[in-house]
Structure 1
Amino acid sequence: MFKGASETLKIEDLIYQPVALIDPEQSPEVLRFNIREKQLAAMLWPSPDSSWNVVLASEFLKLEDRGKIGDLAVKGFPVPVDTPLAKVIDLIRSFPGQLGVLIDKMGFPLGVIEAGRMLSLLWEQMLHLECSVTTLMDTVNEAITMIDQQNVVVGWNKRAEELYRIPAHTIVGQEINRFFSSLVVTHVISKDVMKKKGVRNDYHQPIPGTHVLINASPIVYQDQVLGSVCSERDITETVSLHNELSKASSEVRQLKNEITKIHRPNDAFQKIVGHSKKLRDSISLAQRVANTNVAVLIRGESGTGKELFAEAIHNESSRRNKPFVVINCGAIPAALFESELFGYQSGAFTGADRKGRPGKFEIAHQGTIFLDEIGEMPLDLQVKLLRVLQNKRFYKVGGSDPIDVDVRVIAATHRDLEQMINDGLFREDLYYRINVVSLEIPPLRQRKEDIPELIYLFIREFCLQQNRDMVQIAPEVMTTLLNYPWPGNIRELRNVVERMVILAEDKMILQDHLPSSMKLKRFTAGEIASTESTLTDITDRTEKEIILQALEEAGGDKSKAAKRLGIPRSTLYYKMKKLDIKQ
């Protein structure tokens, strides 16, 4: 909060004091004596119409002996002592040529308010405020820009001069978009902020090689937007350091993993990459239950690595030297379910192998069976699976001899099993059988700090696979990857990195190498602009759309269109010529 003139100035600062009630018929000599003796600033006497007659002492002392004080009287309107300063200013504007008389609750005069004195004090306060704002702007580390309603620069601090190498005397008083064709500056700040929408931590690259975070707010007075102020924090060094640090961290982790493979061959969880708290919590729980026989239900979105966790749990357990068998429950046709899971005897059905065939459960004996996507299994098959899990015994198709089986069950799903139970789509007894320990795998968007490490790990993997030198990743690409929601999680990230490594030229991954669905997008004039074009192309295209829309709404009237756009008519003509808009 800033304490300005409206809070600093008090009515007492604006009035002439002391004042005294007088009889206007008193002789000039007596009045002069009272003025000098009491150091009076003004003299008053009431008027029949409830106003006051006021004479400033300085004016009275100019009178000759024969003059009358009544000739100098100026009308005075009453101002209660508790009147706010803003209201006092309104009253002075409402009674031109009159003086204000500050009165107490009993109606007794306390002082005289004169417009000239008030103007002088307010001007002094404005100069003090201007000096404070200038000092503040040049003290902060951020680049500060202030623009008015017409996008004309009215404030440009020293940090902005250093960041953009534009002297203040060159840019102040000029339209900002003559210096920057940035979509963020010319559209977000000039349009969104003018609509009282703030901008917070908006990443932007205003000039090549420079990265900033923008905060911008409208300057609002009594519901009227007077302009906006923009603060830009230079994060170029931070982005570069983060890029290098992430790369170095990935390389260190890779070396650590290679060393670990030599010294700790049984570290089953080393393939799970990441140091975020949510991921480490999941790994910690998995490690605690690994060397037990309890059933584990792994929950998480597609592509989060549920099978990787299941295999790690198996490899960390005492069953590590026995089979790890994966069953995709949603991919087995109902007709083949029993033969796939339990196997079949010789001649069990037409086309059956003469020697018969073991099922998944028989193969997994003394090992681990991983029931992937168990939420996709139809109800009638859930009954058959439950019976095997309960009895630990099954019959082959076409067989009459029971087969006992010892397996550790790990299941996985991306579905809401509890809701499926309520909807009658999943058996509650099977749910409790597989859900002794529930293990949540966080989606990639909730562990963004792991993304750089995964990216460099995949870059190294695919560079080795493609037999090419290590490629670098541009900071703006890393920013896009960090901000992307990753609906396909790690599987999607791995595919994207593989694509970028293949397409990268000159050992550098750029925005052009991203899939079109991931490229940075902006919403402007109801359309989405993609960075498949250059930023200048996007800006010109966007400005052209906005101007054409304004001209259409104004029926072709350029004056009305300029007013709608909040720019001078001359600027509209200039932009129409530049953008080849013929109207």
Structure 2
Amino acid sequence: TCSGAPIHNSLGETIGCFNVSGPSEYVYSHTFGMVVAAVEAIENQLWKEEVQEEKNRAYELLSAASESVTEGLLAVDNEGRIIHVNPVAQNILGLSEKVETGQLLKSILGPNEKFSEMANQLLWKTDVEIVHNQGGAGIHCICSARPFYKKEGPIAGVVYTLREIHKVRSLVNRMVGATARFYCEDIIGESEVVRNALKLIFVAADSRSNVLLTGESGTGKELFAQAIHNHSARSDGPFVAVNCAAMPRELIQSELFGYNEGAFTGAKRGGNPGKFELADEGTIFLDEIGDMPIELQVNLLRVLQERKITRVGGQKDIPINIRIIAATNKDLLKAVEEGRFRQDLYYRLNVLRIHIPPLR
């Protein structure tokens, strides 16, 4: 006796046969039913394996896409446990070891992290600046958050998109033209004093010390500053020029150090970074430094000493990595004697001095 049934795949194609054969004297009336039931079980198992394979392929595709993007991706469930984090997000968040799924985000970043606060608001958030100090390490990034929900149910979690603050600043600096265009060879001069000044450009470029450029108005102090930047190890970073004499006295602090939302009437929503933040990883050129108000020289001295700034209306220290080149057409030593310029700030700036001769 023989009982058999074809086996089909999910497309209905015949891929095999299940057969039970035996001596006729052992024929059993329910054998065919058992064969059909076995075939159904086989087809169900094949279907489950195909579905699982499709899920695996989708997960591999999602993982490959997540790891190839230049932005950080972080997903947490409604309890704040990590579902997924890509390598870029690990780097931005300062996670040295591979994070395991299921860990509470608060257990890694500490109790005051801002991501859970954003998630609890259950709203889409776009381009929120996050400054978070985690022990000795700091997190400074631009974050967007999007909640996702269970099918016809409550919130299931939040997906965060993180952008490193340095990349955001780099884009801003390219858009606003915060770059140096001139090199040493662009400065023309044949006199001995000019050649000596040009030699000092390379001395200053090889050094990490602050530079003070002196000389009359119109002698090309910014050209020298740009050349120092372009020949230095910071040439790939931004070059931000600030004319201290051209900024209104009441706005110079917010322009240099930035401000937080609500710091004063008319403050931009979300706050605004200052020139020092935009110059991070690069060079800031403070032209006409002798015209800086005496009360702001204390803040500049703190930047030089601690390499940190605090925005107007803010409480968090923001670390910065900058090189300062200052320029003046005034006699700063005389200004120090008259009490118009701080002596400690003068010596902090006057580490490497380059005097640019007049053009006449």
**What TM-score results when the alignment is normalised by the length of structure 2?**
0.49
As a proportion of its length, which structure holds more helix? Answer: 1
- Structure possessing the higher relative contact order (Cα contacts under 8 Å, 6 or more residues apart): 2
| Bigger proportion of residues as strand | 2
- Calculate the TM-score normalised by the size of structure 1: 0.30
